[in-house]
Amino acid sequence: MSDVSGRIEELKRLIRECDYHYHVLDESLIPDVEYDQLYRELRNLEEAYPDLATADSPTARIGGVVAEGFTKVTHSQPMLSLGNVFSRQEIEAFVERIETAVEGSVSYVCELKIDGLAIALHYQSGELQWGATRGDGYTGEEITSNLRTIRAIPLQLRAPETIEVRGEAYLPHASFTRINHERMEAGEPLFANPRNAAAGSLRQLDPGLTAKRGLAFFAYAWVTPSERVATQAEALTQMAELGFPVNPKWKLCHTVEEIEQYIEWAYGVREQLPYDIDGVVIKVNEFAMQSKLGFTAKSPRFAVAYKFAAEQGEARVLDIELSVGRTGAVTPTAMIEPVSLAGTTVSRATLHNEDIIRDKDIRIGDLVVVQKAGDIIPEIVRVVIEARPEGTVPFAMPTHCPVCSERLMREEGEVALRCVNPGCPAKRVEAIIHFASRGAMNIEGLGEMVAESLYQSGLVQDIPDLYELTQAQLLLLERMGEKSADNLVRAIAASKAQPLERLLFGLGIRLVGEKAATTVATHVGDIDGLLTATVEELQSIPEIGPKMAQSIVDYFATPAARERIARLREQGLRMTALRPKAVASQGEQGPLAGKSFVVTGTLSTLSRADAEQQIVQAGGKVTGSVSARTDYLVAGEKAGSKLTKAQKILADNPDSPLRILSEEAFVALLAESATSD
């Protein structure tokens, strides 16, 4: 029993260390597959010995019971909103008030204002006890079970501190895009922006639903008094050392000019950030001065938020176009007069679905206010009613498919209208484009225009037709030269080696994204397992819910899908997963076993995904960051900071086992490994 207990504690320590490096230091200690193995071992041990399971275990993040409602929590100190400033004059007035009140010079900490949801976290002896929303500033809702699902929030600190920390829970752009794509495929209403999605995610009564959203977190406030933390700058440093993710893009400033320079920098980089910001927070650095300045009834006197004005423009709606996706969903898009927003020219704005058009009463000919939702997606904010031309009429979605003229259907509980005609040309073309995409079969040279030409010419009506194409047939297409045709035939042939997870994603099964395809393929192992899988069997796979499981079973139950798979099998496509669960559980094997690789820069002969796939097939490990434990850095063209870091490691330690490989040397190593295998 003592051996089991010791192993559980060791696994918890290893997983916490990996989480700390990933979420705080932005580096991966081990590949995802190894992390998953550690996690599964811990979960299995805790299930076998439930008395040894503790609340601070990484496995406790997901699986809380569905709540009937949220209880109230009274904050130890008010969580008040910040006062806003919008100009240089208002910043100068804020600084002048501060320095007059404290009678001396003051330093300030400027931080990016993350557009999310403020939360409070309380730790007792280093262990997370509870977490709550801001609420009205004095009383919030206790949402501990939901916050535990956010992997960036430590369940146990790196030191036994009793502390309250506050920060921002937010939704990264990648998670927001994924969620809205999934909701669109399911016919559900789309979230307007990442902040709304984050707020809705944290208020789910089922923690399992929150866990699927992919929320993140930044800590920004140390609430509990401490003798060793006297300033905001020290607090940010100490919180990071305790294991909290802290946004590193803060700056200590001493003058109005430095504050303004930071604001100008933040405004310039906000479009490149992987999360939304809506301004800059300016805080007095010294806690003693913060205490002296105190609070008003609504906000602290020692801090303000400089808010970026939402960049908007006016444009005339020229038309509303309809597109049909690979699942048949009909999506309206407003074609507008070109308008410059956030540094880009916008001529299209998403309308999402019929409900949004009706609620905002958007009509062709209207003058509308346009902005980028979260500075990413152009959207129509409102109609300028007073400028509406005479004779405009409300827009109505069609009753029949704009491409094949078949009647459109709306399933119960869905928002989207769908074309259910399996022979719809738009669905066929979109299916070919998706199948050839980088995340699926990665057929280079088969883009939108080529897919359209192949379909219109009659050469490709379904996916298997791709593998019967000849160079002579391709040369009949407009603007297809001999070299391009030869390259495309070679790329199609090379895609036959793609593993089952790529094929499964490429088939375009509704609700099955890239990650889910990998999860299912890894557990099932081969195509025969998919063809015979039941809903119950698929639901037993972690992260696969009932709707997705049913969608997979329904797809493979159709005669068309089974015929498609049979043809692809005959044409020699790989029908097994890259690393089936049974193989993965046996540990790393192969000529590159025990060797860790980092791939950076652009490779000319193969994609980065293909390079990493070949490394894994040879038994090697792929990580995201360079460290002293890295064996090989594969450096393509325009290799950046990772190459610099590797060169520094070698300069500091000439005896390091790390080797920097050019693309040519890497290909030679793979060839040598294949021979030795």
Residue 648 — φ and ψ, nearest 5°?
A: -70, -40
Q: How confident is the model at residue 508 (pLDDT cuts 50, 70, 90)?
A: very high
pLDDT in the model for residue 4: 85
Q: Which of 113, 212, 372, 621 is catalytic?
A: 113
Q: How far apart are CA 97 and CA 282, in angstroms?
A: 14
Counting Cβ atoms within 10 Å, is residue 228 exposed (0-12), middle (13-18) or buried (19+)? exposed
Q: How confident is the model at residue 676 (pLDDT cuts 50, 70, 90)?
A: low
- The pLDDT of residue 530 is above 70: yes
Q: Mean pLDDT: which of 45-59, 228-242, 373-387, 624-638 is highest?
A: 228-242
Q: pTM, whole model, 2 decimals?
A: 0.51
Q: How confident is the model at residue 1 (pLDDT cuts 50, 70, 90)?
A: low
DSSP-assigned beta bridge partners for residue 351: none
113 is an active site residue: yes
Name 331's Cβ contacts closer than 8 Å, sequence gap at least 6. 184, 322, 323, 325, 350, 351, 352, 353, 416
pLDDT in the model for residue 346: 86
Look at 518 and 427; give whichever has higher pLDDT.
Answer: 427
Q: How confident is the model at residue 586 (pLDDT cuts 50, 70, 90)?
A: very low
Span 452-476, average pLDDT: 96
Q: What is the DSSP code string of 132-152?
A: EE-TTSSEEEB-HHHHTT-TT
Question: What sign for the dihedral angle of Cα 670, 674, 676, 677?
Answer: positive
Domain 588-676 -> CATH class = alpha beta
Look at 219 and 99; give whichever has higher pLDDT.
Answer: 219
Torsion angle, CA of 537/538/539/542, rounded to 10 degrees?
110
Q: How far apart are CA 514 and CA 384, in angstroms?
A: 41
Look at 456 and 542; give whichever has higher pLDDT.
Answer: 456
Question: If you average pLDDT over every residue of the chain, what do you get?
Answer: 87
Q: What is the DSSP code string of 198-238?
A: HHHHHT-SSHHHHHTT--EEEEEEE-S--TT--BHHHHHHH
Residue 165 CA: distances (Å) to CA of 224, 225, 252? 8, 11, 20
Q: How far apart are CA 419 and CA 324, in angstroms?
A: 8
Q: Domain ranges for the chain, please list them.
A: 2-61, 83-307, 312-399, 425-497, 500-582, 588-676
pLDDT in the model for residue 581: 61
pLDDT in the model for residue 609: 67
CATH topology of domain 83-307: D-amino Acid Aminotransferase; Chain A, domain 1 (3.30.470)
- Of all residues in the chain, the percent with pLDDT exceeding 70 is 94
Q: How far apart are CA 253 and CA 213, in angstroms?
A: 36
pLDDT in the model for residue 57: 85
State the DSSP code for 388. Answer: P
**Tens-digit pLDDT profile for residues 404-436:** 999 999 877 777 899 999 899 999 999 999 999
Q: How confident is the model at residue 342 (pLDDT cuts 50, 70, 90)?
A: low
Q: How far apart are CA 400 and CA 550, in angstroms?
A: 27
Comparing 152-156, 406-410, 661-665, the range with the smallest average pLDDT is: 661-665
Q: How far apart are CA 329 and CA 510, in angstroms?
A: 11
Q: Considering all CA atoms of the chain, what is the largest pairwise distance in Å, rounded to the nearest integer?
A: 84
User: Into which CATH architecture does domain 312-399 fall?
Assistant: Beta Barrel (2.40)
> What does the block give as tokens for 565?
């798979």
User: Into which CATH architecture does domain 500-582 fall?
Assistant: Orthogonal Bundle (1.10)
The one-letter amino acid code at 270 reads R
CB contact at 8 A, 86 and 306: yes
Which residue from 326, 322, 323, 324 is spatially nearest to 510, judged by alpha carbons? Answer: 326
- The pLDDT of residue 376 is above 60: no
Q: In what order do the strands lie in the sheet with 303-307?
A: 83-85, 303-307, 277-284, 108-114, 251-253
pLDDT in the model for residue 624: 66
Q: How confident is the model at residue 66 (pLDDT cuts 50, 70, 90)?
A: very low
CB contact at 8 A, 75 and 132: yes
Question: What sign for the dihedral angle of Cα 665, 669, 670, 672?
Answer: positive
Residue 168 — φ and ψ, nearest 5°?
A: -120, 120
Residue listed under structure tokens 């399992």: 208
Domains 312-399 and 500-582 share a fold: no
- The pLDDT of residue 136 is above 80: no
Q: Mean pLDDT: which of 257-266, 307-316, 609-618 is highest?
A: 257-266
**Tens-digit pLDDT profile for residues 43-55:** 888 888 888 888 7
Q: Mean pLDDT: which of 46-55, 308-317, 451-460 is highest?
A: 451-460
**Tens-digit pLDDT profile for residues 110-127:** 999 999 999 999 999 999
- The pLDDT of residue 584 is above 60: no
Q: How confident is the model at residue 603 (pLDDT cuts 50, 70, 90)?
A: confident
**Helix, strand, coil abundance in the chain, percent, nearest 5:** 40, 20, 40
- The CATH code that applies to domain 2-61 is 1.10.287.610
CATH topology of domain 425-497: DNA polymerase; domain 1 (1.10.150)
Q: Where are the alpha helices (DSSP H) in 388-513?
A: 425-436, 448-456, 471-474, 482-494, 500-506
- The pLDDT of residue 623 is above 80: no
Q: Is 100 helix (H, G, I), strand (E, B) or coil?
A: helix
Q: How far apart are CA 448 and CA 216, in angstroms?
A: 34
Counting Cβ atoms within 10 Å, is residue 236 exposed (0-12), middle (13-18) or buried (19+)? buried
Look at 534 and 186; give whichever has higher pLDDT.
Answer: 534
- The pLDDT of residue 553 is above 90: yes
